[in-house]
Structure 1
Amino acid sequence: MLISIFFIIVIYHLFQTTISNERKIFSFIAIFVYLIITVIDYHWLISIENYPFHPSDPSRYYLDIHGLSLKGVLAIESSNHFYFIINWFYDQIWNNAFLVSFLIKINNVLVFISAYLLMTRKAEKFTYIDILLLFNPYAIVTLIRNVRDIYIILFVVMVIVGLDIIPNNRIKKRWFIIGGILLSITRSVLLLIFAFIAFVKYRKRFSKTFQYSVLGVILIGCFIFFQEIMQRIASQFISAMDYMGEDIVEFLPLLSGGLNLSLFIVFIKRIIIALAVFLFTPHPVNFISDWLVNMDETGKMNIYTGLDNVLISFGAIFNYLLVIPVIISYLFHWEKSNKFVFIFVIGFIILYTVAFLGATDIRNRNTVIFFILSGIIVQNQKLKVTKLHYLCAVFIFFSIYFISN
């Protein structure tokens, strides 16, 4: 409850500095919608699953800390102690899985609205892009699950505005520092992207000699540790392929540094496929067909409950009709966007495309959608979605359908 109260205070203060009255109104509407779906999801879990947490990671985050001391929680082998501590904190106060689950879901709603308002509060215009961001079903799927990604979005926003990337929107340096520290214990790899952004943004403050020295050190480091870098990338790449049941024999030489031109070309082709998977799946027809065939009597498939799958199905349709044409327009007109937010988006996509070959959770796709759409909003960009962009979306829709069937 303390965390909820904290974020209610944060939202109140953000409202005071939010320029658009429409943005304030729709934020309230979004909170109301989120809470209704949260209650429905909570009732679904208790009635159908007989447990208040979703399968897989959402349950693990709670079960792994239940009954442990703080020292025991910190001893868990994980790069995500922050979110384990969130679950542990509530468990210490309430010691009731059902109440902890409900409070965490409420917090997710408040954290998401805090991130949205912090990112967009100085944007003058409220447009349909805001509505696509607030009411995207992928965002709702992420909100109702016990996962860290809503907090990661907030921490990324804190770092972005702390770096003075957003026009007229800046927070005090201490919040930027806090955001960076929290991001380092939730998804530290993203700090590499921000290190690059900071160098690009502030390089003119330093002499040419210093700039070239930094670039020289980076290039020398990449040359010296090239084998180690390639082996680490290859290891994650091959692990993802193996997880998806693909033949990995062809790529095994990468683990011992056996990179040649033909293998490199095959590697790049596989990455391009992964990029399409990340950006344009779940495909509505393919996902719904797969779900109807493989679901159990409650609608559950893999780690997603029946309600999750309804939201994902609706989200796949929602995105192909409304969001993907916007993303295509955004990519076509990237030079008009906020270049630093664009760098973050591209960096995030590259990281998850290489690491998971695009076959990642809805929550990671939602992160990309959030920052593409919020990046358009904060730039007050007059984004035109033309017939060409819709035709591209239609082409992608049928291409993925026929290739995969």
Structure 2
Amino acid sequence: MSIFEKLESGVQSYARSFPVEFDKAEGARLITRNGDSYIDFLAGAGSLNYGHNHPALKDALIDYIQSGGITHGLDMHTRAKAEFLRALDETILSPRDMTYKVQFTGPTGTNAVEAALKLARKVTGRQNVICFTNGFHGVTQGALAATGNTHHRGAAGVTLSGVTRMPYDGYLGDGLNTTEYLDRVLGDNSSGVDHPAAVLVEVIQGEGGLNAASMDWLQSLEQVCRKHDILLIVDDIQAGCGRSGTFFSFEPAGISPDIICLSKSLSGMGLPFAILLAKPEYDGWKPGEHNGTFRGNNHAFITAAAALREFWSDDTFIKEVRAKIALVTQRLGDIAVDYGNGRISTRGRGMMQGLVFENGDMAAKVCRLAFENGLVIETSGPDDEVVKCLCPLTISREDLTAGLDTLEAAVATIFPKTTILAAE
């Protein structure tokens, strides 16, 4: 019996899919204690957009630690915090003409969502929040109430309330704009839907199965929010920091959220870090109303600032990401056509794309076969039916191609090639 079997809780999940002991990591590679190397298409569930141990981030952190820099500072002013705020303003906010106050929440994404919900309710004086089918926002009580997944909701142990769920873009079919339904119920005093404080939305639903909202739908959603005096909250925790092909996932739609939740890859190194961006008119907190002991992770401030300077000072990095996005789109599309015979499709946007199978068993088998051949990749979706490519944005073209080759080989083991069947 290993030490993990002896002591670790049964709640563990990723360890069940990848039953090896990892020891080191670099770039897009994970290395076990035995020296086996795996290509990482999981990337810390999207928290390692810049890969494992990127030299620019690692060196900045080592230098800071060796200089005796502050590790833990609650919300006190520190050099590290100042460096992060300057980098955020100079590389992200000011170039986009975005004016937001920055709130340092507790260090996890779900805490950022909790803060967003509390703030929206506080400044509007309303309780109800609109959220969407297949949304995932975290597993603390408020965020969990806004989450659709039955598996996670079932562990709450209490009634989850305070939200009204609406159909996400495409949920009722391609020909129906679900924001029209939202507009209708909000304008009807007898609809039974209480006037909400906010709408909470993911532009790309990561855990929900890579459902990507159209730009038209997002624009319509913002119009509905403005019409009915509702705050628009974008949960950009997984889709943010460049994974969509722009720093914020909502940028191509041209919308202006009132509140934005960021976490995961914000630190750049996998260090716990989350913030809330709120338009100044909605920064209605009294001192300490939402706090947390670890909201001042100065090590994360240092690596986050280094990441912003390294990757977002010009458009070199994002152009490289977009070239990789094109490769992923082409390869996944080819796999679906060549092997699916109508039973495999593609879904997602940017570096959040995947293959959709008929059921979760098929997707799980693909992931197991891929892992046996050196690829770490996982599933998402309501029935875990989507094999999700979530590799680091910094992945080399060689590793990206090799990972996609391994994924294709896993699919080919289960499905005969469509073109061969047609020829026969």
TM-score, normalising length from structure 1?
Answer: 0.27
Q: From the two aligned structures, give the one with the greater helix fraction.
A: 1
Which structure's residues are more often strand, by fraction? Answer: 2
